[in-house]
């Protein structure tokens, strides 16, 4: 017969090691490819650099000029007026929400769209990306014409 005694210090050490291993495994699992397009074709919102922004835009089928027309810091208002509420409705329709960013300073990157149906020969279609902490948090596709339009990132009819 074999008898082994375990002291409480040994049990505590084993539990601490087990906790560290499990925590590390969970963190690795959650962070692994969290920024990439997943297998179910979901959208990657990663936008920390030029390549990321171009990849984000191309996910929707847009072709844009390599250089942005404008890069500007904007502050999402603390209180949404009617215009910002309608703008946030566009964001909500594409799975985004600006309410979590009220009062936050973000960057708006604006690119010229080259392949908008019916406007290929004009330079009046823009895509705006609102970016915070390297991720797209909102944006739109719009026309700068007097009777222009604005909608989410998806191409009309898609």
- The whole-number pLDDT of residue 13 equals 66
- The whole-number pLDDT of residue 17 equals 73
Q: Phi/psi of residue 106, each to 5°?
A: -130, 170
- The whole-number pLDDT of residue 42 equals 85
- Alpha carbon 33 to chain centroid distance? 14
- The whole-number pLDDT of residue 38 equals 37
Strand partners for 129: 109, 139
Q: Where are the domains of the chain?
A: 50-151
- The whole-number pLDDT of residue 34 equals 41
Q: Judge if pTM exceeds 0.75.
A: no
Specify the DSSP class assigned to residue 96: -
- Alpha carbon 74 to chain centroid distance? 17
pLDDT tens digits, the chain, 158 residues: what are they? 666 666 667 777 676 776 676 667 656 555 544 443 333 458 899 999 999 999 999 999 999 999 999 999 999 999 999 999 999 999 999 999 999 999 999 999 999 999 999 998 889 999 999 999 999 999 999 999 999 999 999 998 76
């Amino acid at each position: 017969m074999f008898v082994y005694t375990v002291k409480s210090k040994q049990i505590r050490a084993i539990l601490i090691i087990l906790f560290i291993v499990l925590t590390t495994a969970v963190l690795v699992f959650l962070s692994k490819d969290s920024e990439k397009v997943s297998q179910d074709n979901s959208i990657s919102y990663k936008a920390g650099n030029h390549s990321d922004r171009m990849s984000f835009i191309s996910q929707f089928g847009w072709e844009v000029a390599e250089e942005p027309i404008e890069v500007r810091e904007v502050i999402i208002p603390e209180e949404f007026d009617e215009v910002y509420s309608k703008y946030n409705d566009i964001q909500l329709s594409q799975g985004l929400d600006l309410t979590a960013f009220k009062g936050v300073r973000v960057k708006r990157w604006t690119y010229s769209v080259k392949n908008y149906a019916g406007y290929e020969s004009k330079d009046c279609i823009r895509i705006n990306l609102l970016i915070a902490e390297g991720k797209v948090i909102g944006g739109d596709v719009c026309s700068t014409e007097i009777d222009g339009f604005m909608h989410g990132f998806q191409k009309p009819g898609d």
